[in-house]
Structure 1
């Protein structure tokens, strides 16, 4: 895949919370983990993302990547058109940038990829058939040797199958037949015997003609003693369409003695994304993580990209997007909380911190004290995040949410101690009463201790000035909050 990743033709067949995280080697207990990588590590797995060299200058994106992920897949920087644009002329600079960044931030690297029909320089396809094998072996040897000891695994052959289970008739297949795959794996293994070697493809997540072909290939390669180590399930889904037999399908590959991994996860939604679609996406993400955890040889999950702004989906599928766990402001969506909960983690503080902006996930805005007023009884609203004191909340040991403006500290308050849906959420001088006490929950909700109702943006509005109220908890994105 690339960013935008694999060819549109290949895919036509298929139809960011920044929590503080410890970087020490000892894994935290899953129950106390507040990040994806910490919770995954506690389960003996990883949680990864894809980065491109263009992402390395985006501090917001990298803040989420550093906090949440411990495996990196280069989006484009290790593909043939970058690494060997002309015959025998190598360019590893872009890939080196990704490897260097990963190494400096405690992340491992999935090498992606060595042999693929797309992002392939024209000189390869123009070679006489009797020169293709030599060019392929030279390319694999040079690249894997260059990164020897720095890359955890390689997608050696990417997307070898058509949807019907036939082999893609690319330059390699046309020159060598299906034997090119065994040759590629053996060549990579000779260059770095310690790297885990994968075949990677999309639409093989459920049992179908394509996954059957991959299974039969894997079985054949292993019978020949070919050093195949794992199968990558790209997992580019449409919301609500995660195969119900994904776990069973991964398990049959694991039963061959192979590692399996979810390598390029995203879950695209028709825009604009509704609350119902975001909740379905959360269900999908949770199910994918659970499927992985249920297969002992599933080593980890990687999302393709960090958040919606750097996702390849809108550029390839017009009208679709919102495909990742982090929204346009790199704030976590319901899918983040579902993935974290599936891993056994807890989003303490709804977003990791005890002081900061209280982000409305569904709107991508912040809980705001209008015009920085200190007038008791003023109803709170959402507004574009500004980092100003009138948007800076502290969740203290008394479960109060306090706001200090112009030297005056007030508390977030359920108006008149109301316990019915529609009760205004206001500021009021702190008095220690239950209607000023709030639980910030691991599922991303903020609930009133007295009422049990959820802090809610009226009408699920995403507009500046939309008012905050209490409402029956319903799982909507307008009831999802992060404090950081």
Structure 2
């Protein structure tokens, strides 16, 4: 949902699957990152962005703006580019509020996500009163004028926002009633004509996992691309309930990416029933890490944006009474566990997790590296348990030891060729037992330079782990901690 301070209305949220093994991480508390390692720098190291939303008086609050400018490198205006602000009456435009946010972004070297051009909500009454045979002209004029005004200043536009009902049918709003389903393609083509360099998205909520709604959007995207419509991306809003990040989110992102589309998380928050317990805040931290890791595992995921800077800015309490604390900063803009897990997932404190002890989590499979009981046996991935066989300690020399520190991760026979087995062996300090945990999410052998790899891109319990040429696949992405 794309909420506003003037008109916050609750919506039904479909039940989503319980959090799965991909979200089960063993966390060791990470410290609040200092100014030398803000989230934006960590994200940029991985080729991603980390964004936030600003709206209303937030741009006049120095605490908010200093934090936003330091930690984030993408800004989404919450209300300032929506139709009721930009064209409150037919042909009369007001770009001042949006211009102020763009100016803030430019002064802090941040990109801007335009939000949004066509939406059934926050639509001024005059649009709904336009005769049906004139709606297309009004829509095209609005898109063209707004996109032209911001041409060259906007990274991406949410061209059409929330077009689907929960069952996968299209909402019967002013645009659909006048133009049928063709209004979506027409809107995207019109925006592209006005700014060919902007990435053009369809954005919606409750499409994060595989379900009727996301299936309908997937079919629509296939159809639009087949017609040559310049659709560039899909926005997954990411308004979650704590502990309910869909287990199918990564697979869903991957299938849209396979169409050649970018897939971004555009409005992330994770609401908790109040009062928030320590356990719920830790679960929120795991949820945030899951979302970040899913994005890191998909090359065509450009980044993740949080909806609001801190809990004090959130739309949640006003829309869902009894719920709140949904962001990674509290009401005083102090970091919560979700901040630590986000920084860790992005490679904070030296990359790969910023901790010295924890699980090696296979991002693509949603499982953990598991050590056998017999030395010389090839390692496998299995469902994460948090047990001793899945807990590693990394030494200052790069050894990854398990259990009592006597046994280490080892490239079998000092092998340096793709396919070399990764085994457990008595720690000996040699180069084939030294590992780099890299900022891009890979784990590489110091001696071989090869990547720790889940054989055959398998996600099954018992899948074997080997060394292989680094290729950027999700089966070579790991988090440590």
Same structural fold, with TM-score higher than 0.5 when normalized by the shorter chain: yes
Change (3 A) 1:176 1:202: same
Q: Name 1:338's counterpart in structure 2.
A: 341
- Contact between 1:238 and 1:268, CA under 8 Å: does it hold in 2? yes
Equivalent position to 1:324, from 306, 327, 330:
327
SS at match of 2:264: strand
Q: Name 2:9's counterpart in structure 1.
A: 8
CA distance in 2, matches of 1:313, 1:347: 34
SS at match of 2:13: helix
Question: How do 1:462-477 and structure 2 match up within 5 A?
Answer: none
Q: CA deviation at 1:8?
A: 2.5
Q: CA deviation at 1:80?
A: 0.0
SS at match of 2:302: strand
Q: Name 1:261's counterpart in structure 2.
A: 264
CA distance in 2, matches of 1:121, 1:278: 39
CA distance in 2, matches of 1:147, 1:300: 21
Q: CA deviation at 1:14?
A: 4.0
CA distance in 1, matches of 2:129, 2:157: 26
Q: Name 1:62's counterpart in structure 2.
A: 65
- Contact between 1:78 and 1:112, CA under 8 Å: does it hold in 2? yes
CA distance in 2, matches of 1:109, 1:341: 25
CA distance in 2, matches of 1:67, 1:38: 9
Q: Name 2:221's counterpart in structure 1.
A: 218
Name stretches of at least 5 consecutive residues in structure 2 with no aligned partner.
16-30, 352-481
- Contact between 2:272 and 2:324, CA under 8 Å: does it hold in 1? yes
- Contact between 1:160 and 1:201, CA under 8 Å: does it hold in 2? yes
Stretches (4+) displaced over 3 A = 3-7, 13-19
Q: Name 2:296's counterpart in structure 1.
A: 293
SS at match of 2:12: helix
The CA deviation string for residues 66-85 of structure 1, in whole angstroms up to 9 with x for no partner, is 11100000000000000000
Q: Name 1:275's counterpart in structure 2.
A: 278
CA distance in 1, matches of 2:153, 2:162: 24
Q: Name 2:105's counterpart in structure 1.
A: 102
Q: Name 1:123's counterpart in structure 2.
A: 126
SS at match of 1:240: coil
Q: CA deviation at 1:17?
A: 5.5
Q: Name 1:20's counterpart in structure 2.
A: 35
CA distance in 2, matches of 1:6, 1:218: 30
CA distance in 1, matches of 2:250, 2:5: 28
Q: Name 1:143's counterpart in structure 2.
A: 146
- Contact between 1:234 and 1:262, CA under 8 Å: does it hold in 2? yes
Question: How do 1:61-460 and structure 2 match up within 5 A?
Answer: 61-346=64-349
Change (3 A) 1:347 1:75: farther
Q: CA deviation at 1:347?
A: 9.2
SS at match of 1:12: coil
Change (3 A) 1:5 1:230: farther
CA distance in 1, matches of 2:100, 2:150: 12
- Contact between 2:33 and 2:343, CA under 8 Å: does it hold in 1? no
Q: CA deviation at 1:2?
A: 2.6
Normalising by structure 2, what TM-score?
0.68
- Contact between 1:205 and 1:246, CA under 8 Å: does it hold in 2? yes
- Contact between 1:269 and 1:323, CA under 8 Å: does it hold in 2? yes
CA distance in 2, matches of 1:250, 1:141: 30
SS at match of 2:254: helix
- Contact between 1:325 and 1:333, CA under 8 Å: does it hold in 2? yes
Name stretches of at least 5 consecutive residues in structure 1 with no aligned partner.
22-33, 349-484
Change (3 A) 1:219 1:229: same
CA distance in 2, matches of 1:158, 1:145: 19
Normalising by structure 1, what TM-score?
0.68
Q: CA deviation at 1:256?
A: 0.0
Q: CA deviation at 1:52?
A: 1.0
Q: CA deviation at 1:13?
A: 3.2
